[in-house]
Amino acid sequence: MDCRNAVYSNDYYDIMLSSLDTILGSESICKQEIADRYMVYYLNQQEVPPLSIGKYNYVNIPKCFTILDQFALEISGITRVQTQRNLELGGNGIMIGFLDTGIAYENQAFRNTDGSSRIVAIWDQSENTARNPDGFIYGTEYTKAEIDDALMQEDPRAYVPVQDENGHGTKLAAIAAGSEDIENDFIGAAPYADIAVVKLKPAKEYLRDFFFIRKGAVAFQENDIFAAIDYLNRLAEKRGQPLVLCIAIGSNQGNHGSGGRMATYLDEICERYRRAVCIAVGNEANARHHFYGGVSEGTTERVEINVTEDMQGFTVELWGRSSEIFSVSIISPTGEILPRVPVFTGQQQRHRFLLENTTVLIDYQLGDVRSREQLIHITFMSPIMGIWTIEVFPNRILDGNFNMYLPISGFLEREVYFVRSNPDSTLTVPSGARYPMAVGGYDALTNGVYIESGRGYSVDGIVKPDYVAPAVNVYTPGRLGNYGRMTGTSAAAAISAGACALLMEWNIDTLDNRTVNSIELRNQLINGTRRMANQLYPNREEGYGRLDVYQAILNMRNL
C-alpha cells in the first residue's frame, strides 16, 4: 500500500515511538519522522497483534484530544498596548500558529485591507493528496500565494477547499489575531500578526473504538498533533519568524504532569529562541472526572463511579508516583466482586461480570522512561447503570497517594462521574507541562470565576495555571462570518496567544531581545498579572493572577 494511504486507512495502527526505539522489520514499514526524535509507524492490523496496552505499551498508543470550548481585550491590557502612543503593538512580524479544526480562510477577519490573506500557510492533514509539506508523507499544504489566488475567484473553495466544519479553529484565530472590523466593533488581540494553520486529521475509528469515544465527538490523535507542532516550527524557521503556538485542545488521557511525552516536547519548544506556547487548561474542574486518594499499609481506598445510564463503555486511569505500586479489585452494582487483581505488567487481565454482562480489562504498567509513574488502565465494556466500585490496595508505597481520571467530558457517551470527586488537578493534558503558559479562564464581565476552568496544580506540584484570561462570552466572528460569543478556556488561550505575540514584538523591536523565549515571556506576563485583594497567590484557580500585558510592559520598563 502507498504509505500516504496507510496514514488514513483504518486498517493500520498508528504507533508512536522515540526515534531511538525501533520495530522489528521497520525498514519495510510505513513511517513518519517528527522533529528528528519521534517516529510514527503505520502497522497493518492483519500482520500484527490486536491493539492492547500490554502488547504496545500505553505511551506508544496515540491519545485522543478534543476541543476545549464551552470586553476581553481591554481588561487584559491588550487594547492599551495596541493604541497607546510609543507602543502601538499589533503582532507585526510574529507568526501565530493554530492546530485545530481548520479555518474559514475567506473570512474578513483574516484579510489585509487590500483583500489579500494574512494566512501564510495552511496544512490540511485531512486532505489526502500528493501535495504534502516538506518532511511529511500526508495531508495537503496551501501557500499564501494559492490562498490569495483563491480569494480572487468567485468560488474560492474550488481552488483551496479547506473548511472548518466545526468553527472552533476559526473562532480561536479571530480572537487571537483577527483584523479590525470597525462596523462590528471587533478587533483581535494581534491584528497584524501572520497566521499559520494546521487542520488536524480526525482520529481513526479503531482508536475511537479502543477508547470508547462518543460517536460524533471531535477527536484528534496525539501523533498528528506532534506533526502539526513540528510543521509550524519548521514553517517559522523557513520564514525566519518568531512563533507563538496556540493550543486549545486537551485530553484526560495520559500523564497529567510535566513528565508526559507531549509535555516534554513542548518544554523543548519553549526553550528555543523566539518561540512561545500557550495552552488552554480545559473545562473539567466541575465535571467530577478526577479523584484524589491515598492508602497506607493495611488499608484500602474505595473509589465509587456512578454510571448514570447503560452505555457501550469507558476507561479509567489510575496514576501513582514511581515510588508507589497499587493493585485493584472491582465491585459491580449488584455486588459481584472481582477479587484483588495481581500486578502483572505487559499482560492484560480480563474479567466478565455475569449478572451485568459487563467485561472489565485491567492493564498494569510500572512506568516508562519519561514519567516513571505507575499506570493502572481499566476498561469497562458494556457497563450497566449504577455504582461501580474500584478498591485500591497498597502493594509497595511511600506516601500512598494516587490520582484517577475519567475521560474528558466531550468523549463520554453518557454521564459518568466519581461520587467523591476532587476539582483540583483537573488540568487537561498537556497543560501540566513545565514551561508553556497554561491559561485558565475567568469571567471578565462579572469579574468572577469561571467555575469550569481546570484547576491546578499539576500532579507533580508545578503551579498551573500560570494565569487566567477572559473565557466567558468572548466576542468573535464565526466560520460563516456572523458574530457570536465563545465560552471556554480555548478563548482564554487565544487571547493569551495574541498577548504573547504583542509582547514578543515589543521584546524584539523595542528591547532588541532576540533571544526571548516562552519561559521569559511567561515570567514577564506573570509579573504583570492583576491580583484580587481577597486572595492569596499563587492559587489553584488563577495561578499567579489575571492576564494584563500592558502592566507586564510597564513593569519591564521600570526594571
User: Same structural domain for residues 242 and 100?
Assistant: yes
Q: Is residue 26's pLDDT more than 60?
A: no
Contacts of 506-514 with C-beta under 8 Å, sequence gap 24+, read 506/81, 506/87, 506/89, 506/553, 508/93, 508/242, 508/274, 509/92, 509/93, 511/556, 514/273, 514/274
Q: Is residue 357's pLDDT more than 60?
A: yes
CA distance 438 to 244: 13
- pTM of full prediction above 0.75: yes
Angstrom distances, CA of residue 16 to CA of 6, 365, 407, 431: 14, 17, 21, 20
User: Same structural domain for residues 368 and 271?
Assistant: no
Confidence bin at 19 (pLDDT 50/70/90):
low
- The domain tally of the chain equals 3
Q: How many of the other CB atoms lie within 10 Å of CB of 131?
A: 12
Cell of 119: 494566512
Inside any domain, residue 496: yes
User: Same structural domain for residues 273 and 174?
Assistant: yes
Angstrom distances, CA of residue 395 to CA of 278, 297, 346, 405, 415: 39, 8, 18, 21, 32
Q: What is the mean pLDDT of residues 467-474?
A: 97
Inside any domain, residue 65: no
User: Same structural domain for residues 411 and 497?
Assistant: no
Per-residue HEC secondary structure of 285-332 comes to: CCCCCEEEEECCCCCCEEEEEEECCCCCEEEEEEEECCCCEEEEEEEC
Cell of 289: 472526572
CA distance 456 to 468: 12
> Do 179 and 107 form a contact (C-beta atoms < 8 A)?
no
Inside any domain, residue 67: no
End of a domain among 418, 438, 454?
418
Inside any domain, residue 424: no
Phi, psi of 421, rounded to the nearest 5 degrees: -85, 170
Inside any domain, residue 333: yes
Inside any domain, residue 423: no
Inside any domain, residue 63: no
Considering the chain, what percentage of its residues have pLDDT values greater than 90?
A: 84
For the stretch 475-502, pLDDT in tens is 999 888 889 999 999 999 999 999 999 9
User: Same structural domain for residues 404 and 262?
Assistant: no
For the stretch 83-121, pLDDT in tens is 887 888 999 999 999 999 999 999 999 999 999 999 999
> Do 190 and 498 form a contact (C-beta atoms < 8 A)?
yes
pLDDT for res 373: 84
CATH number, domain containing residue 522: 3.40.50.200
Closest by CA to 152, choosing from 181, 104, 111, is 111
For residue 248, give the 3-state DSSP assignment: coil
Residue 389 structural domain: 290-418
User: Same structural domain for residues 87 and 206?
Assistant: yes
User: Same structural domain for residues 329 and 401?
Assistant: yes
- Poorest-confidence range of 41-50, 200-209, 413-422? 41-50
User: Same structural domain for residues 268 and 169?
Assistant: yes
- Compute and round to an integer the Cα radius of gyration of the chain: 23
End-to-end CA distance of the chain: 61
Q: Is residue 370's pLDDT more than 60?
A: no
Angstrom distances, CA of residue 117 to CA of 88, 141, 242, 283: 22, 15, 19, 33
Inside any domain, residue 528: yes
Q: Is residue 269's pLDDT more than 80?
A: yes
3-state helix, strand, coil in the chain (%, to 5): 25, 30, 45
User: Same structural domain for residues 191 and 251?
Assistant: yes
Confidence bin at 24 (pLDDT 50/70/90):
low
End of a domain among 367, 384, 418?
418
Give catalytic residue positions. Answer: 100, 168, 490
> Do 445 and 452 form a contact (C-beta atoms < 8 A)?
no
Q: Is residue 75's pLDDT more than 90?
A: no
User: Same structural domain for residues 79 and 53?
Assistant: no
Phi, psi of 361, rounded to the nearest 5 degrees: -110, 135
For residue 436, give the 3-state DSSP assignment: coil
Confidence bin at 80 (pLDDT 50/70/90):
confident
pLDDT for res 72: 66
Cell of 495: 487571547
Residue 33: beta bridge partners? 39
For the stretch 277-327, pLDDT in tens is 999 999 999 999 999 999 999 999 999 999 999 999 999 999 998 888 999
User: Same structural domain for residues 247 and 105?
Assistant: yes
> Do 433 and 262 form a contact (C-beta atoms < 8 A)?
yes
Average model confidence (pLDDT) across the chain: 94
Confidence bin at 371 (pLDDT 50/70/90):
low
CATH number, domain containing residue 402: 2.60.120.1290
> Do 418 and 290 form a contact (C-beta atoms < 8 A)?
yes
For residue 114, which amino acid is it? D
User: Same structural domain for residues 276 and 157?
Assistant: yes
Closest by CA to 59, choosing from 243, 264, 274, 355, is 264
For residue 555, which amino acid is it? N
Element (H, E) at 229: helix 222-239
End of a domain among 418, 452, 476?
418
Cell of 221: 490523535
Residue 16: beta bridge partners? 40
